[in-house]
Amino acid sequence: IRRIESELSFVQVKASMSTRARMQQVKNEICANRRQIAYSRLEAVAGAENPYSLIQIFGRGHLIVKAGAAMYVTHCSPVDVLPRTGTNCTEEIPVRWNNTDLYVDPISFVIQSAGTISRCNDIAPSRFQIAGRWYCMFPEMRECGAPEELPVQAVKIDEGKTTGLGLGRSIYTEDQIQAFVDFQDAHQVRRAYLAETAEIAYAGRGPNGEWGHGLGGLASASVVSLVGSHLIPL
């Protein structure tokens, strides 16, 4: 009987120690994952300068700016603004505050002085949620339907046949479809434009390292033509 009791006690102690070791291993894995997530967020801010990388930590209403190897987080005071109709379609919400035309980032809710212009189109307009309702910009603000939510469950793949109806056979007119194509193309060429402008400015640097004007051949010719016609009118 004593031998059986001894063996049972040994099994119980061994099982308890094994459970504690596994729990400690799980805690270590969770800690390592949290640290890796924190590093990934910091790398996203430092590398891609993504202002939304730390929004899950600080929440909305915070402005994150990278300066050197440090991140500066500014807490913005809440204010009441009024939506307005802008002259162009923008990625931000045009608002008016303190008799000044400003823009609000629709994700971080931070006010900024300028907006990112995008092409107006009826197929994929800029869409914002204001006071619980969704609005689209054309550039006038119109109430529209809410977008689809990001699925968090397992996505089921439908292997059925599609109808074959695309933008070419839809309710949109040719002008609306062309505006949507121009909108997509304008978004895709932004990086190419910045890279080309930087290359031209780099190639045109002065002897002391000053940057060149960064204008291409067509833009330079237009400037010369405008200046020439102004100085020497025909």
pLDDT 10s digits, 70-96: 888 888 899 999 999 988 899 999 999
Residue 196 forms part of a structural domain:
yes
184 and 207 in a common domain: no
pLDDT at 163 over 50: no
pLDDT digits (tens, 9 = 90+) for 26-55: 888 888 888 888 888 777 777 777 778 888
91 and 147 in a common domain: yes
> Beta strand pairing status for 100-104 and 70-75?
unpaired
pLDDT value of residue 150: 65
pLDDT value of residue 162: 46
pTM of the model: 0.66
- For 133, phi then psi, to 5°, come to -120, 150
218 and 149 in a common domain: no
CA–CA separation, 183 and 16 (whole Å): 63
CA–CA separation, 48 and 5 (whole Å): 63
Looking at the structure of the chain, the number of domains it has is 2
Residue 91 forms part of a structural domain:
yes
- For 218, phi then psi, to 5°, come to -65, -45
Range(s) of the domain holding residue 106: 82-159+170-188
pLDDT digits (tens, 9 = 90+) for 174-202: 888 888 888 888 877 877 778 888 888 88
Residue 47 forms part of a structural domain:
no
> Beta strand pairing status for 82-83 and 93-97?
antiparallel
